[in-house]
Structure 1
Amino acid sequence: MAVARIGISGWTYAPWRGTFYPKGLVHRDELRFAAERLDSIEINGSFYSLQRPTSYQHWAQTTPDDFVFSVKGGRYITHILRLKNTRGALANFFASGALALGPKLGPLLWQLPPNLPFDPEAVSAFLASLPRTTTAAAALAAESTLESDRTFLDPGPDRPLRHAMEVRNPTFDDPAFVKIARDQNIAIVVADTAGRYPVLREVTTDFMYARLHGDVELYTSGYTPEALTRWAQDVRGWLAHDLDVYVYFDNDVKVRSPYDAMALRELLA
């Protein structure tokens, strides 16, 4: 059966302390607290810098057995290299510890910058270069230039890897991009960005990935009960078509994302 997982993008935010997180809760217990109320979290620290294998191992050990993390690909790959000549950077990214999540490793997210227009050749080549199994990811990671104590190269039992791409330039609203994603078996992220960036709802693989950044004010506004009901209808529709669903709330500025995620989970329950 298809499964829906509803979570948040990141969990370490100072304004959440004393609001979502109870006053006095120690920092190291924040992930455990969030994971008791949600069934998935998007790791976004990996977007800003390479994390350490020990961090991924700690996150895996801290969360319930049926918990799943999505992992955001590095901005060095998407924003600096802009999807070109990325093999070395991809090797370092996959060596840095995501495989240490084991069976808790869910989709990998590749978020493109707004100033990166659709280049069919570059996008197709990049997506084709992504490993589709943990064994392939470990083989690529073996090419890493990181110090050995910064790498985790054990693929564990071979498992498939899923990838999703979030686009922010209007030129990606193109049937050619949808075809590339479908041919490469990559999910196109359904991104709610208060109208700032394109909203693409195409089904291109066996799962859907939605990021809800705020429907009125980006990263700030909470979702009304009516808005959450509409998203619940979308999720049910995707599930009815046998698609797994991952939804992450990223409207964190005013401490809305964890509450909206819990409310959507309740609606789906």
Structure 2
Amino acid sequence: MIRSGIGGWTFEPWRGVFYPDDLKQKDELAYASRHLTSIEINSTYYSSQKPQTFAKWAAATPDGFVFAMKASRFCTNRRVLAEAGESIDKFLNQGIVELGDRLGPILWQFAPTKKFDPDDFGAFLDLLPKSHGGLALRHCVEVRNASFVDPTFVKLCRDRNVAICLSENEHYPLICDITADFVYSRLLMGSDDIPTGYAPKDLDLWAERFGQYSRGQVPGDLSPIDRTGPAEGPRETFVFFIHEGKVRAPAAAQELLKRVNK
């Protein structure tokens, strides 16, 4: 399945553009989750939430909907990643299990200044548990420094079934390797000047690429770091329209869904 969504659901400029004018703010998650197939929770990056908050979010969404979640910055914004164990435990124990089957991948995002240290990064990956509170966990890392364009980094992630986020941004490296049993992408180059966020031809291109990713194939027009990738096979694929062109991000996500669900 190819899931397409946005970052968060509370954004004033979406009111009257994505959300109907008469929609109550408390109903925005329910509305968004019925027009998109995934949403990346951003608030968990900045602060912890209460278990009842996660339960409320899960209850507002329909069957089959899945959240992705950004991990706390206190886990990743540190000099020595191998010392993040206590912060990771605190993040996981805030009540995320209340999401139940709505819990999708966890995104661990690193600062653009964070450079690749194989030993330290490998130690960090080893701190990420495969399950928590009876729920299987899936992990994705978003790295934003060119030093990660390294076959060793790809192998570290692949050996642990951790996805590398495909981040389309002019300032970050685009690492397109498949390293896990799912695919995670963040598209950050939209434009509010385009009603659909991305030009139709660009949405067509990304739809074709994600179709290949969902079959376990790196698109032929992209260049992986390690060409000896894993065996092909179906992979749940997550796509989020983030940051630039944010007002039009929901439209972009919906347009992509139309293309991949033909």
After the TM superposition, which of the residue ranges 78-87 and 112-121 deviates more from structure 2? 78-87
Partner of 1:4: 2
Q: Map of 1:182-201 to 2, 5 A cutoff? A: 182-193=158-169, 195-201=170-176
Question: Which residue in the other structure is 1:142 paired with?
Answer: none
* Alpha-carbon contact 2:30-2:61 (below 8 Å) kept: yes
Q: 1:4 to 1:253 in 2, by over 3 A?
A: closer
The secondary structure found in structure 2 opposite 1:255 is: helix
Deviation by residue 1:72-99 (Cα, 9 ceiling, x = unmatched): 1011111146523111111110111211
Match of 1:106 among 98, 104, 122: 104
1:130 has 2:136 as partner? no
Q: State the shift of 1:258 in Å.
A: 0.4
5 Å matches for 1:236-247?
236-241=211-216, 242-247=234-239
Could you tell me which of 116, 119, 144 is aligned with 2:117? 119
3-state secondary structure, aligned to 1:51: coil
**SS of the residue aligned with 2:126?**
helix
SS in 1 for 2:247: coil
Gaps of 5+ in 1: 138-154
90-99 or 243-252: bigger deviation: 243-252
Query: SS of the residue aligned with 2:81?
Result: coil
State the shift of 1:216 in Å: 7.1
Q: Specify which of 161, 173, 176 is matched with residue 149 of structure 2.
A: 173
Alpha-carbon distance between aligned partners in 2 of 1:168 and 1:185, rounded to the nearest angstrom: 20
Q: Which moved more, 1:241-250 or 1:110-119?
A: 241-250
Separation in structure 1 between the aligned mates of residue 244 and residue 191 of structure 2, nearest angstrom = 14
Q: Which residue number in structure 2 is paired with residue 206 of structure 1?
A: 181
State how 1:2-151 maps to structure 2 within 5 Å: 3-80=1-78, 83-133=81-131, 137=132
Q: What's the TM-score once normalised by structure 2's chain length?
A: 0.88
TM, length-normalised to structure 1: 0.85
Change in CA separation of 1:170 and 1:268 when aligned onto 2, cut-off 3 Å:
same
Distance 1:98 1:197, change over 3 A: same
- 1:225 is aligned to 2:188: no
Task: State the Cα distance separating 1:42 from its structure 2 match.
Answer: 0.7
Aligned equivalents of 2:40, 2:258: Cα separation in 1:
19
Using the alignment, how far apart are the partners of 2:137 and 2:199 within structure 1?
34
Alpha-carbon distance change, 233 to 8 in structure 1, aligned in 2, over 3 angstroms: same
Q: Which runs of 5+ in 2 are unaligned?
A: 217-233
